[in-house]
């Protein structure tokens, strides 16, 4: 065998454990209930599907690289300056772009203990060091984050609410975090699940994003808007950060189909409201069912629940996962998040949640 040809990757890249998405099939099961990727229970909005289909005859044309219509619509919907909005192929792309832009060897980025795995992955890919910060009750701790800041800290990630724990920091805590950070660090607020949250003390963090500041907010069309397959996200940035991200991104990084479907999904407020109300109702119902049979459930505000299992062979999360899978129910294992005793379940349709709760009850009550 000949030796590999070509240059090696930059230092650090081979240290990355690649992100593994939720499973979508079970061997031997023709029909499965996929509750493993925090997707929309109802699929995409019918209006988004219609807009998507309507792009077909124009697919030979390049998309509007400036995403002007969508940014204008987002600005109007959320009361934000569209000039400071940048769209990406999922918020994952925006996470990758800002880490590439601002982090390099010698820099550190803070993230909380059980936070979304793309932060350490993107930080490592940029050649910088991800620093894991302890949480309190599976919730990001502002005190611990501020304590972990060093002169090397260039970025601080907060998923609010967080995936996979579902917990959130109230607006006052986010402000305290922002106020305590040095101006040399960029605070990245990832509000992927913001549209699901109805708590009065929660905000997406958009109000903390000042034109000349050091705070950014990321959002996605993959969750409440049901467009995960199209890859569409957006960020609200200080002017100087928007300028940097616009320089670094591909000129046509968002497809014309994603732009059109995104605009229609944003306008379909009835669909969004239906999803939000359904999710809240069935999230609380499912949590109550799990608690009834003695399981601990982290109080989450997104479209998923983190369910804890005893650390006892045969009754643990691995056994529960196998039991659910045998019934065609796919949830997410949490070993990669250091939560091997938990499973994360997305809120699906009513019949799916009834089937899930029934299986969970059967599992928990088995002798």
Residues 6+ apart with CB under 8 A from 284: none
352 counts as binding ligand PLP under rule CB under 6 A = no
Q: Which helix (H) or strand (E) holds 154?
A: strand 153-159
Among 63, 120, 228, 262, binds ligand PLP (CB under 6 A): 228
Contact predicate 235/88, CB 8 Å: yes
The secondary structure of residue 21, as a DSSP letter, is P
Closest approach of Cβ 30 to ligand PLP, in Å? 27
- Reduced to 3 states, what is the DSSP secondary structure of residue 244? helix
- Strands 332-333 and 342-346 turn out to be antiparallel
Q: Which of 36, 38, 204, 279 binds ligand PLP (CB under 6 A)?
A: 38
Give how far the C-alpha of residue 347 lies from the chain's centroid of Cα atoms, to the nearest Å: 15
- Distance (Å, whole) CA 145 – CA 179: 12
Query: Which residue from 116, 196, 225, 282 is in contact with ligand PLP, where contact means CB under 6 A?
Result: 116
The binder of ligand PLP chosen from 86, 131, 192, 305 (CB under 6 A) = 192
Chosen residue from 99, 112, 153, 163 binding ligand PLP by CB under 6 A: 163
Nearer to ligand PLP, 333 or 357 (CB): 333
Could you give the CA distance from residue 153 to residue 109 in angstroms, rounded to a whole number?
A: 6
Binding mask 194-223 for ligand PLP (x = CB under 6 A): --------------------------x-x-
Listed in sequence order, the residues at least 6 apart from 9 whose beta carbon sits closer than 8 Å to its beta carbon are: none
**Residue 262 phi, psi (nearest 5):** -65, -45
Which of these segments, 56-64, 85-93, 244-252, 315-323, binds ligand PLP (CB under 6 A)? 85-93
> Contact, 89 vs 254, CB < 8 A?
yes
Q: Which of these segments, 52-60, 87-95, 135-143, 327-335, binds ligand PLP (CB under 6 A)?
A: 87-95
Q: Is 170 helix (H, G, I), strand (E, B) or coil?
A: coil
Residue 198, preceding bond cis, omega within 30 degrees? no
Site membership for ligand PLP, residue 74 (CB under 6 A): no
Can you tell me whether residue 307 is helix, strand or coil? strand
What the block records as the tokens of 260 is 């059109």
Stretch that binds ligand PLP, among 89-97, 103-111, 132-140, 208-216 (CB under 6 A): 89-97
Counting contacts by CB under 6 A, is residue 36 touching ligand PLP?
no
Q: Which is nearer to ligand PLP, 20 or 293 (CB)?
A: 20
Number of residues binding to ligand PLP, judged by CB under 6 A? 13
Does 190 help bind ligand PLP (rule: CB under 6 A)? yes
Shortest CB 223 distance to ligand PLP, Å: 7
| The only residue of 51, 63, 87, 92 in contact with ligand PLP, by rule CB under 6 A | 92
Q: Does 91 bind ligand PLP (CB under 6 A)?
A: yes
| Residues of this chain that bind ligand PLP (CB under 6 A) | 38, 90-92, 116, 159, 163, 190, 192, 220, 222, 228, 233
């Amino acid at each position: 065998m000949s030796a590999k040809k070509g240059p090696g990757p930059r230092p650090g890249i081979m240290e990355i454990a690649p992100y593994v998405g939720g499973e979508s099939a079970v061997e031997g099961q023709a029909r499965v209930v996929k509750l493993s990727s925090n997707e929309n229970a109802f699929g995409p909005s019918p209006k988004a599907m219609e807009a998507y289909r309507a792009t077909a005859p124009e697919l030979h044309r390049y998309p509007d690289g400036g995403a002007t219509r969508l940014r204008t619509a987002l600005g109007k919907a959320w009361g934000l300056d569209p000039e400071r909005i940048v769209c990406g192929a999922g918020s994952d792309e925006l996470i990758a772009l800002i880490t590439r832009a601002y982090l390099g060897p010698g820099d550190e980025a803070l993230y909380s203990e059980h936070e979304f795995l793309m932060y350490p992955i993107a930080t490592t890919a940029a050649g910088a060091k991800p620093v894991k910060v302890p949480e309190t009750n599976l919730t990001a701790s502002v005190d611990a984050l501020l304590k972990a800041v060093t002169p090397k800290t260039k970025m601080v990630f907060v998923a609010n609410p967080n995936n996979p724990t579902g917990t959130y920091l109230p607006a006052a805590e986010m402000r305290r975090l922002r106020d305590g950070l040095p101006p040399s660090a960029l605070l990245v607020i990832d509000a992927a699940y913001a549209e699901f949250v109805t708590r009065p003390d929660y905000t997406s963090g958009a109000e903390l994003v000042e034109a000349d500041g050091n705070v950014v907010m990321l959002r996605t069309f993959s969750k409440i808007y049901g467009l995960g397959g199209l890859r569409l996200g957006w960020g609200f940035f200080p002017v100087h950060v928007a300028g940097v991200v616009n320089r670094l991104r591909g000129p046509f990084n968002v497809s014309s189909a994603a732009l059109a479907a995104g605009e229609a999904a944003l306008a379909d407020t009835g669909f969004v409201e239906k999803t939000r109300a359904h999710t809240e109702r069935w999230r609380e119902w499912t949590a109550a069912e799990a608690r009834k049979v003695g399981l601990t459930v982290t109080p989450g505000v997104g479209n998923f629940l983190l369910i804890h299992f005893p650390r006892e062979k045969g009754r643990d999360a691995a056994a529960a996962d196998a039991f659910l899978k045998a019934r065609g129910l796919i949830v997410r294992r949490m070993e990669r998040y250091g939560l091997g005793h938990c499973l994360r379940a997305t809120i699906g349709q009513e019949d799916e949640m009834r089937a899930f709760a029934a299986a969970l009850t059967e599992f928990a009550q088995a002798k």
